[in-house]
Amino acid sequence: MAYSEYWNPKNETLPREELQALQLLKLGRMCDWAYANSPFHHRKFDEAGFMPEQLKALDDIRRIPFMTREEWMHSIMETPMFGDVVATAETNAIRYHLTSGTSGRTPIRVLDGMKDWEWIAEMWCYGLWGFGIRPEDITYFAFGYGSFIGFWGAHYGVEKIGSLVIPGGAQTSEGRIKQIIEMGVTTVFSTPTYALTLWQKAREMGIDLARESKVNKVICSGEPAGSIPAVKRQLEEAWGAKCGDTAGMTELGTIMIFECSHQPGGTHIIEDHFIEEVLSPDGDEPVGYGELGERVVTSFGRGFIPAIRYRTKDMVMKVPASTCSCGRTWDLYDGGIRGRWDDMKLIRGTNVYPRAVEAIVREYPAIDEFQIYIWHKDDLVDEIDIKLEIKPGLEAEWPELQHKLAKDLASAHEGLRFNIVRMEHGYLPRFELKAKRLVDARPARNVRKALACIWQATNDLDLQFEQLYELGV
């Protein structure tokens, strides 16, 4: 059967003037809904002197006040359990989820109704169909199915497309690999990090996934690495499959961007359901195509918790739809989400972004796992170490790699010195959900932070105790 390339052929190829007219209409409706039903938005609109009827052109979006994570958190604390941001009776909810709490932040609690969930699945369908998932596919979710929203929406999206879903919930990596082969799985959903871990495990089991599995698509989400070229290349080689990136947020319940099957090196924005503004970080000036800025998102689909001009702190670079050859009229984020503005570390006067470091480290296939470790030498100087493990069998590459990696990192960071440190194989932690490869061990503000650093630094319990003892905790 001949399928269309698009999930929604009309909206995905809508001329941009019509697309913008649709966005304006939906924006007005969302603001009306939020103003009438969410005390949080009502208060904020009043304070800013904004009324939904002021929206005459798309540019008028700039009259709407921003919504920040801090305000949302504050609302949850003032009005437990979910905050007065909620726009309908809590008894209408059918599902509760939490943000992942990455970077040690308190997770946000969210509720959704049935209609929200239908929309959440629909958004995933755009991305999954766009990357080539069809009813004939057999899909596998290497995902724990917990309170973190993760791939829940993708699960329903795949069902809606009509493919077979195999929910690979709580089980070992070995168990998952066996199931993937046994069931003839064609599409695997995973974080990029865990997809690499699965491949390593398979190798230890004597299984070559590229040859012995039927997997031809790996769909990534949850970490920015799915759009880092070197990671993508490794995944595609390891699995013998095409690797596609998607990105979503618990705050929205679903994905807002996806990579199409043309793999243009970026992700299309689902522009008939979201307005994605790119603004100067912490400012409110729009930045143009090809410039780095902060994503500010407005969603039209989630009625329970309206997200309007939500400041994400995600670092992105928008490029026009014509960058991709697929015919969609939707703009893209070149390189997907490039990390977070608040991930930046200042080391001896130089800005260091973990994702930029990862992009360089991943150019070395001999590196198995790594960690960016920042510490304070003699209470004076900041030092940055790249702790890494070499893949078994490739140890001979170490001396040259050590020298070359240090040079590559320095030249990308105004000559900043990176110490390249080799660790025993198995020393560094492995991740299933969201990888935490940055440890900032500079003088801890409190014991809790010190404990978190030690816990992140190594898997080894004895070493953890040793470090606790040294710190006098």
- Burial-class residue 378 by CB neighbours within 10 Å (0-12, 13-18, 19+): exposed
Q: Rounded distance, CA 162 to CA 299, Å? A: 26
Measured from the CB of residue 392, what is the shortest distance to Zn ion in angstroms? Answer: 39
Measured from the CB of residue 130, what is the shortest distance to Zn ion in angstroms? Answer: 7
Measured from the CB of residue 191, what is the shortest distance to Zn ion in angstroms? Answer: 23
| Comparison of 132 and 339: residue with beta carbon closer to Zn ion | 132
Question: By the 8 A CB rule, do 12 and 261 touch?
Answer: no
326 binds Zn ion (CB under 5 A): yes
Which residue has the CB atom at the shortest distance from Zn ion?
326
| Comparison of 76 and 324: residue with beta carbon closer to Zn ion | 324
| Comparison of 87 and 128: residue with beta carbon closer to Zn ion | 128
Kind of pairing, strands 419-422 and 350-352?
unpaired
| Comparison of 39 and 265: residue with beta carbon closer to Zn ion | 265
| Comparison of 3 and 96: residue with beta carbon closer to Zn ion | 3
Measured from the CB of residue 261, what is the shortest distance to Zn ion in angstroms? Answer: 8
Element containing residue 422 per DSSP (H, E): strand 419-422
| Comparison of 115 and 262: residue with beta carbon closer to Zn ion | 262
Measured from the CB of residue 324, what is the shortest distance to Zn ion in angstroms? Answer: 3
Measured from the CB of residue 129, what is the shortest distance to Zn ion in angstroms? Answer: 12
Q: Tell me which residue of 162, 161, 166, 208 sits closest to 186, measured CA to CA.
A: 166
| Comparison of 323 and 350: residue with beta carbon closer to Zn ion | 323
335 in helix, strand or coil? coil
Q: Tell me which residue of 35, 33, 32 sits closest to 44, measured CA to CA.
A: 35
The interface with Zn ion within residues 247-286 (CB under 5 A) comprises: 260, 262
If you count DSSP H runs as helices and E runs as strands, how many of each does the chain have, helices first? 14, 19
Q: Rounded distance, CA 64 to CA 79, Å? A: 23
Measured from the CB of residue 316, what is the shortest distance to Zn ion in angstroms? Answer: 17
Q: Binding string to Zn ion for residues 371 to 410, with x set by CB under 5 A, is what? A: ----------------------------------------
Q: Tell me which residue of 431, 469, 329 sits closest to 102, measured CA to CA.
A: 431
Q: Rounded distance, CA 299 to CA 276, Å? A: 9
Kind of pairing, strands 242-249 and 254-258?
antiparallel
| Comparison of 28 and 265: residue with beta carbon closer to Zn ion | 265
Q: How many residues bind Zn ion (CB under 5 A)?
A: 4
Of 187-195, 245-253, 292-300, 320-328, the window that binds Zn ion (rule: CB under 5 A) is 320-328
Q: Which residues contact 363 (CB under 8 A, 6 or more apart)?
A: 230, 408
Measured from the CB of residue 12, what is the shortest distance to Zn ion in angstroms? Answer: 9
Q: Tell me which residue of 299, 255, 235 sits closest to 31, measured CA to CA.
A: 299
Of 2-10, 317-325, 353-361, 447-455, the window that binds Zn ion (rule: CB under 5 A) is 317-325
| Comparison of 6 and 398: residue with beta carbon closer to Zn ion | 6
| Comparison of 95 and 262: residue with beta carbon closer to Zn ion | 262
Measured from the CB of residue 244, what is the shortest distance to Zn ion in angstroms? Answer: 11
Residue the block writes with tokens 């929203």: 149
Measured from the CB of residue 337, what is the shortest distance to Zn ion in angstroms? Answer: 17
Residue by residue, DSSP assigns 215-265 as --EEEE-SSGGGG-HHHHHHHHHHHTSEEEEEEEETTTTEEEEE--TT--S
Binding site residues, Zn ion, CB under 5 A: 260, 262, 324, 326
